[in-house]
Amino acid sequence: MIKLYIIGICILIIAIIANGVIVKVGLKSWYDFIELLSNNGWNAFIQINIIDYLWLFIGYPLVLSLGYLIGEKLYHAIS
């Protein structure tokens, strides 16, 4: 159970850092995308560019998986 907790904390920290960085870079976050969806419906899909799509559906999951890997390595280092 402690392993899952450590991995979860690492993923959370990485997600917070990633969201802070992408705001500075000017990419859309999931929060921005969901807001567009709620305000504009399906038209939101034509309002974001290809870079935002790549970030949301490829980059962000890869960055979060880095949080998993860090958490697993940290768990094995302390156990």
Contact 75, 3 (CB under 8 A): yes
Q: Which candidate, 10, 50, 52, 14, places its Cα nearest to that of 31?
A: 52
- Tens of pLDDT, residue by residue over 27-76, are 999 999 999 999 999 998 899 999 999 999 999 999 999 999 999 999 99
- pLDDT of 53: 95
Rounded to the nearest 5 percent, the helix, strand and coil shares of the chain are 90, 0, 10
- pLDDT of 79: 85
Q: Which candidate, 25, 5, 29, 3, places its Cα nearest to that of 16?
A: 29
Over residues 2-18, mean pLDDT: 97
For 26, phi and psi rounded to 5 degrees?
A: 100, 15
